[in-house]
Amino acid sequence: MALQFIERGVVQLPFVLQEQIGSVSALFKRYENVPASLADAALIRLAEINDSPLLLTTDSDFQIYRRHGRQMIPLVKP
């Protein structure tokens, strides 16, 4: 279903990893004790570059992760 939303343009992912690699690398360092996966770091970065992020996840690590260092990432947990 998620891919269908992307195909229809309902969900857009304006994220190019090459453009964000410095910030993503810094997130890996910040959360090396968790440890964050590439997908986790990319989602944290997406939450940082979007004004009103809302993340749907079942991953409990997102209760630890912060955007811009201190701000909680708004979560929807099914």
pLDDT value, residue 72: 96
pLDDT digits (tens, 9 = 90+) for 6-30: 889 888 777 899 999 999 999 999 9
In a domain, residue 1? The reply is: no
In a domain, residue 27? The reply is: yes
Number of domains in the chain: 1
In angstroms, the CA 73 to CA 52 distance is 10
In a domain, residue 70? The reply is: yes
pLDDT value, residue 68: 95
Return the closest-CA partner of residue 75 out of 58, 60, 59, 55: 55
What average pLDDT score do residues 67-71 get? 95
Return the closest-CA partner of residue 46 out of 5, 74, 77: 74
Please check the confidence at residue 74 and state whether its pLDDT lies above 90.
yes
pTM of the model: 0.83
In a domain, residue 8? The reply is: no
What average pLDDT score do residues 32-47 get? 94
In a domain, residue 37? The reply is: yes
Domain that holds residue 72: 20-76
In a domain, residue 43? The reply is: yes
